[in-house]
Amino acid sequence: MNPLSKWWLVFGFAFCVAASSSAFAAGQPAPEAPIFGDEVEISGSTPVEEQVKTLLVGTAARRLEMAESDIRVRLISPSAWSGDLREGYRVSLKAASQGEMPGRNSFFMRIQRESRAPTSHWVSADIEMVRRVVSAKHPLSSYHLLTADDVELVPHNLVRKGEQYAFTIDEIVGKQVRRAMPQGRPILLNMLDDVPVIRAGDRVTLIVEAGEMQITTTGEAREKGYLGRRVAVLNVESKRVVYGTVRDASSVVVGSR
């Protein structure tokens, strides 16, 4: 083999190896860069721990898709890293896992120290969700039919996201509790049953609304009626079945203003 052929063989082999390596690299996912939350620049006007808690509140609120005003944070052993923070340093956080909140969670803290290389720490914190929920204003007996006077809105630490709390009084009015409840107990929606306030055959006042006009006549319910829901009613005068919304135990509204 002459020298020129030998060099062409070496060059061809090297080209194949490089092409294979490039193809393999192209098929591999790029390494994931660390993603940190919003940064905060440490100031001298507020304790360091409070500034880190504010940053944690923002991180947790985005994860939970809740308002920051509904989040409470308690730092665990802040002295382990707070001494490393100075005014003018920048701090950013990243959740260490996609675990469930609320509860105790770990975060990775990165501290940018002026022109020097950043340092890092682990931060542990208890994350709580506090919202105003509907609670029993006084003891409730089994099968009690709820009214607005039976309940009140009080701040409550939500145990876990997704629990079926009632956040407005309108959600529970007219419903029946399945079992007795003590005063102060948050009322969960899965503790309640819908109760018909109108039975089939009941005579009701049929209120027909059209613009600014309102006409009342007598109707007869053709089925069970629940507060705020549609129900079929026979217009006694016209003998026609119409559909309206149950306003209370004796009236159904047809149409709207």
- In tens, the pLDDT along 155-203 reads 998 876 667 899 999 999 888 999 999 999 999 999 999 888 899 999 9
Token representation of residue 126: 């208890």
Provide mean pLDDT across the span 90-118: 78
Provide mean pLDDT across the span 96-122: 78
pLDDT given for residue 46 in this prediction: 83
Share of the chain above pLDDT 70, in %: 81
**Would the pLDDT of 38 be above 70?**
no
Domains of the chain, CATH where assigned: 40-129 (no CATH), 131-194 (3.90.1210.10), 203-254 (2.30.30.760)
DSSP 8-state class, residue 13: H
Provide mean pLDDT across the span 227-244: 92
In angstroms, the CA 121 to CA 98 distance is: 18
3-state secondary structure of 154: strand
Single pTM value for the model? 0.54
pLDDT given for residue 21 in this prediction: 41
Average pLDDT in the chain: 80
pLDDT given for residue 236 in this prediction: 93
Tracing tokens 């053709």 back to the chain, one arrives at: 222
Contact between 176 and 196 under an 8 Å Cβ cutoff? The reply is: no
Contact between 108 and 52 under an 8 Å Cβ cutoff? The reply is: no
Provide mean pLDDT across the span 42-59: 85
36-40, 111-115, 208-212: the lowest-pLDDT one: 36-40
Q: DSSP letters of 22-50?
A: HHHHHHSPPPPPP-----EE--SSS-HHH
